[in-house]
């Protein structure tokens, strides 16, 4: 027998844990955008051993965790909370890493590849066009294949790299979710965002949370975040 969600479950806003590391600085923008998409964001400090009860999704925000010391995201990737994030991802829970969050997920080996310093040695800070390469991920369910999104980037170390076998495998399995339509930072294959094999963990360098209102130049990031929150709400409704 299928259990039907109760009316109160329908009303519960999906709980999205926004992990805060020392040096995170897009955490509040991310929380604001998630709230605008109907989620209930909750901040989780990096030294927490567990995610809050009832967490339906996890977001790793942008910033400069640990001052980008050693390698961007490296020190954050071994924070206590990352074991909980790894466990949550292992159950199929949606995990989104934006910019530094992407770097952290790669360093934690939750996503394939690594982010290198930009080829042009410049911090790049502008709107870019990002093409949706795969609509089979939970993050891109509201996009059309080939659709171009306008999203801002702001990073010094955003050149994605994977060895040739990794790159070919990712492309074949539809794990390359987004590509830039131009060379933005020396990223291999102009990769802007990749997912894990299961498709429930996404990392991308562009910032969807800064593009959720036409007044800010673009609302295209809302397509991605709304799909993320929708996936979280499915989890909120799922029988325990």
Q: What region does 139 belong to: left with phi over 0, alpha with psi -120 to 50, or beta? A: alpha
Q: Report the residue from 116, 131, 154, 235 that binds another protein according to the rule CB under 8 A.
A: 116
Q: How far apart are CA 57 and CA 174, in angstroms?
A: 22
Question: What is the spatial distance between Cα 209 and Cα 159, in angstroms, rounded to a whole number?
Answer: 20
- The DSSP 8-state label assigned to residue 44 in this structure reads E
Positive or negative: CA dihedral 39, 79, 167, 219: positive
Of 111 and 227, which has the nearer Cβ to another protein?
111
Q: Please choose, out of 51-59, 118-126, 208-216, 220-228, the segment that lies near another protein by the rule CB under 8 A.
A: 118-126
Binding segment (CB under 8 A) for another protein, from list 135-143, 156-164, 191-199, 201-209: 156-164
Site residues for another protein, 3-62, by CB under 8 A, read: none
The answer to whether residue 113 forms part of the interface with another protein (CB under 8 A) is yes
56 or 107: whose CB is closer to another protein? 107
Member of 50, 83, 120, 234 binding another protein (CB under 8 A): 120
Q: How far apart are CA 18 and CA 6, in angstroms?
A: 27
Strands 148-155 and 124-132: antiparallel
x/- mask, another protein, residues 52-91, rule CB under 8 A, reads: ------------------xx--xx--x-------------
Binding status of residue 162 toward another protein by CB under 8 A? yes
Which tokens is 198 given? 């299961």
Helix (H) or strand (E) holding 232: helix 221-237
Tokens of 81: 């909370």
Binding site residues, another protein, CB under 8 A: 70-71, 74-75, 78, 107, 113-114, 116-121, 159, 161-163, 186
């Amino acid at each position: 027998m299928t259990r039907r969600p109760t009316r109160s479950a329908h009303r519960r806003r999906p709980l999205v844990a926004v992990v805060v590391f020392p040096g995170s600085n897009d955490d509040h923008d991310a929380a604001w955008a998630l709230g605008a998409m109907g989620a209930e964001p909750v901040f989780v400090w990096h030294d927490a051993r567990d995610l809050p009860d009832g967490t339906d999704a996890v977001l790793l925000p942008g910033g400069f965790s640990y001052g980008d010391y050693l390698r961007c995201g490296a020190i954050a990737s071994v924070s206590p909370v990352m074991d909980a994030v790894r466990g949550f991802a292992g159950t199929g829970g949606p995990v989104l890493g934006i910019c530094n969050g992407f770097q952290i997920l790669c360093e934690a080996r939750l996503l394939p590849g690594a982010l290198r310093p930009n080829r042009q040695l410049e911090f790049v800070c502008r709107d870019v066009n990002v093409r949706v390469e795969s609509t089979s991920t939970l993050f891109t369910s509201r996009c059309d294949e080939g659709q171009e999104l306008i999203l801002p980037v702001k990073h010094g170390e955003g050149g994605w790299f994977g060895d040739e076998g990794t790159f070919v495998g990712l492309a074949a399995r539809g794990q390359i979710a987004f590509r830039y339509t131009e060379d933005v930072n020396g990223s291999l294959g102009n990769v802007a965002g990749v997912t894990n094999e299961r498709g429930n963990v996404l990392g991308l360098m562009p910032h969807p949370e800064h593009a959720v209102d036409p007044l800010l130049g673009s609302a295209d990031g809302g397509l991605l975040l709304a799909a993320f929150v929708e996936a979280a709400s499915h989890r909120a409704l799922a029988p325990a």
